[in-house]
Structure 1
């Protein structure tokens, strides 16, 4: 089996490169996994995309980046949480999400192209900022490392459905649906098979109001 093939929920797999690019473009942090002599390592890093290449930003002092630039293979995970699928039982409840894993061998962006890559990363993190501030100095550029990796081998999984409840649970007067989550905003959608008159419970209203926080009961 290819490592880009899903082993569970294969019907959620997507081969749409445009959907992959939208996911990467929407995120500013990815998690990079690689093998070291001390065992596996996973670290967060800032990302951006230049056409079909993934740019990863960090310091020249970064241990994992120094290792990766030698040609070590890495796996990069990019995830976006779109909401909660609220089923009529806890077992069937899940997360609406998009998740990609990109495999490859990063390459060091050379000095000739580093300023270009840094501007791409800056504009990804804070669009328009490059025109408002001075250009980075040669010393600042020298202290920064940019790795570039082709987006050629990847898997994409998209969970965007509704609760998959058993018929006996659907027959109950328990609310089910989806809470779409954005920063500070939630939107409640009842499941298509929800009985008329079933009210939205307190837990779902709280989730929609506060987002994916875990401490809202104390606020």
Structure 2
């Protein structure tokens, strides 16, 4: 399978430790699909902001949603350029030198402008996709959104056309002069696991398969 590369723009081209950079679409999608939250950096008349929010991908777009009254969503609809980031921290890397300590991670940055999903059918499909991302199979069990709820909700999306990925894995890279220094070196991994599902105190239904399997699946 041929991987599609996204040509870097002047603002997505990684210059610092460029060997850790990637512009492959498949790598971008893997990082975004593993995330439930992204951070959106933008500017308005009150200054600079970076706000976490739920996100999910459909095809070549990243989606977010919120109340029609959301200050952030209102600003994003004013042709505001944004930077969206997602980061997964995989481990701490301990080297022989204090200044060679680092981290293993997977990160993605997306530049562009959000657009409103105005078509009601596309809005419903996008929200259904969010529910399926949260818990595959649950959409068939819950009450769907009402016309009033959808009318009070704004769904936005940003094209994944201007993006950069930076990621690191493996052990420390020690300087030759430090190799004789006797100290433990290696990685302190972070395990991204899931706990067992916990029923609500007012729950009256049997646990569905997707909830029962939650604690046995990797994040």
- Give the TM-score taking structure 1 as reference length: 0.79
1:160 paired with 2:172, answer: no
1:136 matched to which residue of 2? Answer: 145
Q: Any runs of at least 4 consecutive aligned residues in structure 1 with deviations exceeding 4 A, and if so which?
A: none
Unpaired runs of 5+ residues, structure 2, are: 1-8, 195-219
* Shift in Å, 1:134: 1.4
Q: What do residues 39-59 of structure 1 show as CA deviations (whole Å, max 9, x unaligned)?
A: 111101100000110101222
Q: 1:83 is matched with which residue: 71, 91, 110?
A: 91
Provide the secondary structure at the position in 1 that maps to 2:109. strand
- The 2-side partners of 1:127 and 1:169 are apart by 50
- The 1-side partners of 2:137 and 2:89 are apart by 26
Provide the secondary structure at the position in 2 that maps to 1:27. coil
Say if 1:14 and 1:36 are closer, same or farther in 2 by CA, change over 3 A: same
Correspondence list, 1:180-191, <5 A: 180-183=189-192
- The 1-side partners of 2:95 and 2:190 are apart by 16
2:65 matched to which residue of 1? Answer: 57
Provide the secondary structure at the position in 1 that maps to 2:132. helix
- Once the two structures are overlaid, the 10-residue window that deviates more, 51-60 or 22-31, is 51-60
- The 2-side partners of 1:75 and 1:172 are apart by 42
1:72 matched to which residue of 2? Answer: 80
- The 1-side partners of 2:116 and 2:151 are apart by 13
Provide the secondary structure at the position in 1 that maps to 2:100. coil
Of the two structures, which has the highest relative contact order with CA contacts closer than 8 Å and spacing of 6 or more? Answer: 2
Provide the secondary structure at the position in 2 that maps to 1:101. strand
- The 1-side partners of 2:133 and 2:97 are apart by 40
Q: What do residues 70-116 of structure 1 show as CA deviations (whole Å, max 9, x unaligned)?
A: 32211101111111111123221111011111011111111231111
- The 1-side partners of 2:34 and 2:125 are apart by 20
- The 2-side partners of 1:118 and 1:35 are apart by 27
2:102 matched to which residue of 1? Answer: 94
* Shift in Å, 1:126: 2.3
Unpaired runs of 5+ residues, structure 1, are: 186-219
Aligned pairs, how many? 185
1:121 matched to which residue of 2? Answer: 130
- The 1-side partners of 2:60 and 2:191 are apart by 27
1:103 matched to which residue of 2? Answer: 111
Q: Is the 8 A contact 1:73 1:103 kept in 2?
A: yes
* Shift in Å, 1:184: 5.6
2:121 matched to which residue of 1? Answer: 112
